[in-house]
Amino acid sequence: MSSMPTDKELRLLSDRSLFLYYSFYYSFKERESSMKILGFVQSLLPSIKKDRLEEDLDICIKDMTNTVIPAYTQAANAMHDMHSSEAKEFERMWFSNVRDAKKGEFIKSVESKLKDCMPVLEYIQRMIDEQFESEIMAEGLTILKTTLLRIVEISGFASTYALRFLNYIYTLETKEITGKESNIAGSLTQGEINLIKTHFLEFCIAINSISRDVKKTEKTLKAIPDVLVSAKGKAAMAAFGDAKTDALGAFNVRGFSLNPIYHIGMVIAEFQANKYKRNKDLKSVLELRLLNLQQAKDGKPDAVTDKEIELLQSRIESLDEKIRKAEESVQ
């Protein structure tokens, strides 16, 4: 198996088959050689400013603290059990693939693991300050430094995906309660739904990488061999094996769009501004979807809430398209 399914193939797969397909696909990808680390470095720009990396992680930490975790706290208080069959399948996959996931309520468990990420991200923040010069040269990256870069990248993916995933869960549960294809349930595009489905396992793997005990993470990172990541160093890297070179599993998160800030020259301010606006609108739409879910439970649907959600979702899709074009230019 060497390539992702086409859009036509995706449409032919049932939800259950889609989950099973990607479970197999990514288990296959995890067995690839340690060349994934070298491939990552070779995809980077020749040089990256340290303050760019610091800013990116700082934005991620603020998003997690101010938007993502509070959104899951609100959702956990409102959704104790999943009702839709698809949400239940996500729940099954979560508890099957996430290490030390708190058993019990699904959304509460996701919230708990997101909180576990914070001490690790704050530690990575300190490591970046210690390990990097003001100008980061790709040709001088060790395995440790490459791992730090990768963790920043997958943390940004996990933070954004968590919001998009919760957005979809709200639509599934609202649809289940109303028993019909409402405007709310139908307000996500099929492309967005496919993206959420196909990247869920990657989200689980990313959470496994960054939600570890911080003291164990510190010990693991300090044990990474001090070897340069280069074509000449392939033999040395291979000799250590994945248990040493990718002990956190950060390079097992494959298939999501790379952050173009690190991989191509582009207008950084515009890309970050679009992400900020998108995540701000996602926060607003999640609050409205929670309200809409509660209204549906009470048997009191509100057309005004429906309209506000539709407008916000349309704006999110427009920003997503701009972000996606920038990300796709890396592939």
The SS3 of residue 203 is helix
Coil, strand or helix at 137: strand
Instruction: Report how far apart, in Å, the C-alpha atoms of 174 and of each of 164, 193, 200, 294, 298 are.
Output: 16, 15, 20, 9, 12
Residues 6+ apart with CB under 8 A from 3: none
Q: Is the pLDDT confidence value at 314 over 90?
A: no
245: confidence class by pLDDT, cuts 50, 70, 90? confident
Of the candidates 151, 163, 156, 169, the one whose C-alpha atom is nearest the C-alpha of residue 252 is 151
Question: Is residue 198 assigned to a domain?
Answer: yes
Answer yes or no: is pLDDT of 26 > 70: no
CB distance 15 to 86 below 8 Å: yes
Q: Is 267 exposed, middle or buried (0-12, 13-18, 19+ CB in 10 A)?
A: exposed
What is the model's pLDDT at position 269?
64
Domain range for 119 is 7-259
For range 150-166, the mean pLDDT: 94
Asked if residue 282 is part of any domain, the answer here is: no
Find the range with the poorest average confidence among 48-52, 124-128, 129-133.
48-52
Say what angle helices 143-178 and 85-97 make with each other, to 10 degrees.
Answer: 150
What is the per-residue burial (b if ≥16 Cβ within 10 Å, else e) of 145-169? bbbbbbbbbbbbbbbbbbbbbbbbb
Domain count, the chain: 1
Residues facing residue 48 across a β-bridge: 136
The reply to whether 45 falls in a domain is yes
Identify the band that residue 261 occupies on the pLDDT scale cut at 50, 70 and 90: low
* Residue 274 maps to a domain: no
| CA gap 150, 144 in Å, rounded | 10
Within a domain: 91: yes
Residue 44 included in any domain = yes
Nearest to 201 by CA among 32, 69, 25, 31: 25
Give dist(CA 238, CA 231) in Å, integer: 11
If pLDDT is split at 50, 70 and 90, which confidence band does 235 have? low
Residue 279 lies in a domain: no
pLDDT given at position 5? 45
- Indicate whether 230 belongs to any domain: yes
